Amino acid sequence: MSNQNAVETKTDVVLVGAGIMSATLGALLRQLQPDWSISTFERLDAVAAESSDPWNNAGTGHSALCELNYTPENSDGTVDIKKAVNVNEQFQVSRQFWAHAVEQGVLTQPKEFINPIPHVSFVHGEANAKYLRARYDALAGHTLFRGMEYIDDPAEFSERLPLMAKGRDFSDPIALNWSQDGTDVDFGALTKQLIGYIGKTGGKMYFGHEVTNLTQNSDKSWTVKVTNRRTGEKRTVRSRFVFVGAGGGALHLLQKSGIKEAKGFGGFPVSGAFLRCTNPELIDQHSAKVYGKAAVGAPPMSVPHLDTRVIGNKPGLLFGPYAGWSPKFLKQGRVTDLPGSVKPNNILSMLGVGVSELGLVKYLVSELAKNEAGRIWDLREFAPKAQAQDWELITAGQRVQVIRRAKGKGGVLEFGTAVVAAEDGSIAGLLGASPGASTAVPAMLDVLERCFPTEFQGWKGKLREMVPSIGVKLTDNEGLFNQVWDWSSKVLELDSAGASESAPVADTVATV
């Protein structure tokens, strides 16, 4: 580019952002439609530098094995598991795609991005233990939650979680739901491998390039305006399809696109922090992802957890999250992000949330008031002997919770993810946070089905090779679940000694 206004170029697909969502969609398209051209624009100078970075998220591999916010207690004491089952189904889809990608050489060295780590729910107190027993009773016989254990014996607790047992007063009842088959996922490493594959197979990658505007043309294509942040040079790209996978930056671009489907949406930014362990001896005493219960009145994102991480083949330990607040929509965003997102079509939604989510406001105020001693006090619920000198505070990724218009309420805050797609299928984007990255594959399959309905029919055979259970609820098909579980566990190097050898899964389910 020799001048400020470069010659317009054309491409079939523009991916905005080099995070896990764009990487997943791009990798899918490179296999489904290798003749399509793809251009990826990332405003930062690296892949997965925002929410997908391993230190900016907990890497849980959300499958609802341990996250208590997915299994709310009903008024009669029973436990609602519908959301847990749905989240687990979604994660199974991601697992299958990753396994297929390893077999095809799209991904290499699975140990770099996924490792087996038990997922554990932890509570204390008699009432909470009763709830956890009811949760176990509801889930343990379920196909997707097989092998879950209920543990309330202090000796067993101490053997499995020595760091959490040391100094604990067991006169206060404890209980665990223990799932041995959980995983830790380094979404940064996974994203880098997927983006690398897109580049190796002809996709064009532009780092330090920020998409500043989107305008639809009369033929339904999009004119995408891009600025090189290092040089100030500008580029104009004409694309048949645009995916906005820009994390917290997605809302602004979807608003600029003018599509009616984005109207009424708002975003509420919440920053986060974790305590990261600096003492190798303590790290060696804990090997699990242990999720607790959010305080009464606190939002789902506040669920405390003590997490084993595996990053760069090295174990680590995190505790948190501690919520903070910033008007930025990205960790490396702008302080004008929040005020700039307020539009005439979403101001009622935004104001409605301000009234309805007073609990969230109260929670954020209390979190912002915490000092080091307060943070260590929270940690001691999990590790009673925790000392400040063994932990350092790190800033995690910025999350933008979805605010959606709701009849009679102005707006409601949603703690999940939402695919926003234009009716004509020419543009789509993803809003929201957890379970986010863990459900990247089903989310991007949703984008493909909604935006390419004609092509999708022709892709079904190939998609079944990538995700053998596509279109089938594994919860209703134990035989198929066993096949895809054993296959994906072996390929991803997660299998235990008891995993069975089986025929190629795509062949066994062709008639399903």
Which pTM value belongs to this model?
0.87
pLDDT of residue 503: 39
Task: Tell me the pLDDT band of 506, cut-offs 50, 70 and 90.
Answer: very low
Better pLDDT: 501 or 442: 442
Are 160 and 99 within 8 A, CB to CB? no
State yes or no: cis peptide before 34, omega within 30 of 0.
Answer: no
Residue 505 to residue 325: CA distance in whole angstroms: 46
pLDDT of residue 58: 75
Q: How confident is the model over 328-347, as a mean pLDDT?
A: 61
Nearest-CA neighbor of 253 among 423, 6, 427?
Answer: 427
Placement of tokens 């956890």 in the chain: 132
Q: How confident is the model over 230-247, as a mean pLDDT?
A: 92
Average pLDDT for the chain: 86
Better pLDDT: 43 or 58: 43
Task: Tell me the pLDDT band of 509, cut-offs 50, 70 and 90.
Answer: very low
- Looking at 115-124, 295-304, 404-413, 454-463, which range is the least confident one? 404-413
Question: Is the confidence at residue 123, as pLDDT, over 50?
Answer: yes
Question: Is the confidence at residue 304, as pLDDT, over 50?
Answer: yes
Question: Is the confidence at residue 329, as pLDDT, over 60?
Answer: no
Question: Is the confidence at residue 259, as pLDDT, over 70?
Answer: yes
Q: How confident is the model over 102-108, as a mean pLDDT?
A: 96
Residue 284 to residue 454: CA distance in whole angstroms: 52
Domain ranges of the chain: 6-449
Kindly state the DSSP code that residue 3 receives in the 8-state scheme. S
Nearest-CA neighbor of 384 among 171, 164, 173, 172?
Answer: 164
* C-alpha atoms less than 13 angstroms from C-alpha of 417 in its C-beta half-sphere: 25
Task: Tell me the pLDDT band of 372, cut-offs 50, 70 and 90.
Answer: confident
Length of the chain: 512
Q: How confident is the model over 276-280, as a mean pLDDT?
A: 96
User: Is 380 buried (19+), middle (13-18) or exposed (0-12) by CB count in 10 A?
Assistant: middle
Q: How confident is the model over 301-320, as a mean pLDDT?
A: 90
| Alpha helix ranges (H) inside 342-389 | 347-356, 358-368, 372-379
Placement of tokens 């979680």 in the chain: 161
Kindly state the DSSP code that residue 475 receives in the 8-state scheme. G
Q: How confident is the model over 147-151, as a mean pLDDT?
A: 97
Question: Is the confidence at residue 319, as pLDDT, over 50?
Answer: yes
CATH level 2 (architecture), domain 6-449: 3-Layer(bba) Sandwich (3.50)
Q: How confident is the model over 144-165, as a mean pLDDT?
A: 97
How, if at all, do strands 38-42 and 9-16 pair? parallel
Q: How confident is the model over 462-469, as a mean pLDDT?
A: 97
Q: How confident is the model over 289-293, as a mean pLDDT?
A: 95
pLDDT of residue 507: 45
What would the pLDDT profile of 179-224 be if each residue is shown by its tens digit? 999 999 999 999 999 999 999 999 999 999 999 999 999 999 999 9
User: Is 338 buried (19+), middle (13-18) or exposed (0-12) by CB count in 10 A?
Assistant: buried
